[in-house]
Amino acid sequence: MLSRRHRRRVLALVAFVLITGLAALPVAHWISSMGGSVPVTYPWHPNITATVFYCNQPASASNAGIANFNSAYDLQWGAHCGKENRYYVAVPYDDHGGIFPDCTPIDNSRVPWNNPALPIQQSELKNRWVEIQRIVGGHTITAYAQVEDVGPSPYKFAQQIDDPDYVFGPRGQNSQTITVKPKNPFGQKAGIDLSPDTAAYLGIHGVGKVAWRFWNSPDAATVPNGPWKKVVTTRPANAWDNCMGENGGGTATSAAS
């Protein structure tokens, strides 16, 4: 429970954000920066089309010719993924590196938990947990998974893929629902890609409708128990755009149809 002094600080901060118009991010983000004792709840993305992709998926017409032997975050994803969490997703925002070809640093101020002091090579989205729900026969099925790639999108570069209004919500939004739809023009116009295990748990075979949101904390200990915690991926990002001389071809993305 918050102390009386801490409650006053929270109320003062909320009033300041609302009065000055600085609420570019959910108020919960500003409150959480005061020490983490106030639980953060990130907004839901309702009625989003989800498609299925997988590590080591070969290029084909169904995924816009984009293979998944590496990911936007891991140049050796194909070699690593067999020992990592089988419950993973891709969302359309790449938060690390510079934007090819002029190496403009990516502006991650839209990421609710952004720490601007981090180096651009470090991702704050890779391994982040998301909560995904699907209603089947009047019952809600809930799964949890980690962000391990960028997509869905038929494109290869961050400036084409990134969809911050959809992923994080429009600037100034304080509601607990993000109604912006993904800008992905490919196939089913999906807004999230699910690994085969995640999709199977939710009863999705190829394509389905879900609601999803970022989980409250990056700490796996706070995530409800389930098969998604059998193995937790902790490997940091090791890939970034051509600006750093590593990737040799832009950002690898998922693009399931």
Banded pLDDT at 242 (limits 50, 70, 90): very low
- Tell me the C-alpha distance between 157 and 245, whole Å: 15
Question: What would the pLDDT profile of 183-232 be if each residue is shown by its tens digit?
Answer: 988 878 899 999 999 999 999 999 999 999 999 999 999 999 999 999 99
- Locate all alpha helices (DSSP H) within the chain, ordered by sequence: 4-20, 27-32, 77-80, 158-161, 164-168, 196-201
Sign of the alpha-carbon dihedral angle for 116, 119, 121, 126: negative
- Going by C-alpha positions, the residue among 113, 102, 108, 55 that lies closest to residue 235 is 55
For residues 92 and 253, the model is more confident at 92
pLDDT of residue 225: 98
Domain 41-244 has CATH 1.50.10.10: no
- C-alpha Rg value of the chain to the nearest Å: 18
pTM over 0.75: yes
- What six digits make up the tokens of 109? 């101020």
Sign of the alpha-carbon dihedral angle for 36, 164, 237, 68: positive
- Domain extents for the chain? 1-40, 41-244
Please give the single-letter amino acid code of residue 3: S
